[in-house]
Amino acid sequence: MAKLGLALILLAGVAGFSGLAGAQIGKSNAPIEIQADNLQLLQNEGVAIYTGNVVATQADSRITTNKITATCTRAAPPPGQSIADQPCEELRQMVAEGEVLYTAPDVKIRGDRAEYDYPTDTIIVTGDVVLSRGTEGVVRGTKVVYQVGQGLTTITSDEKRVLSIFSRAKSEEQPATPPAAPPAPRPN
């Protein structure tokens, strides 16, 4: 999965981002692990920017993309201290850009951009969006709003209509009834 030389960054351990361990990208309280080719930390802004082959994993949920920007909230610093000295209290938002694929046991969503809003536990995926749930089929649109905790999905499309394609459920195949034998010839 990860190529040699990828920087393995556990957000909970990144300087200034210690409060992110309680964040979610799925229905789990497990820590988030992010792997990427590069990481840029903007401590004063409470922002971490991961680029190049980015994979964010939490338990059995995963986001793969070209870039993830994670933003945290920080408490106001005491007089005389910098905001950069304040630890990240919680992850506020994660934005994935470029060839985004969100996968969880119950859903796969592909699009061009995804925004995960932690306070509302909602993922908004935009662009050329394709959503699938197991073998139920696929739905295409330009925007998917997935409320993770509620299991509620809303799909819209700007100019075109939403397109759904459902596959017939495969049932156990029954052996075909053999054709009746042709009647025996009558003697003359």
Mean pLDDT by 10 residues, the chain (188 residues): 28 33 54 93 87 94 95 78 69 91 90 90 93 86 90 89 81 56 63
Centre a 10 Å sphere on the Cβ of residue 129 and count the other Cβ atoms it contains: 24
Give the total number of structural domains in the chain.
Answer: 1
Please give the angle made by the CA atoms of 40, 55 and 150, to the nearest 5 degrees.
110
Please give the pLDDT value at position 135. Answer: 77
CATH number at residue 64: 2.60.450.10
Distances (CA, A) of 160 to 5, 164, 165: 43, 12, 15
In a domain, 113, yes or no: yes
Please give the pLDDT value at position 25. Answer: 58
Q: Which domain holds residue 29?
A: 7-76+84-165
Please give the pLDDT value at position 64. Answer: 96
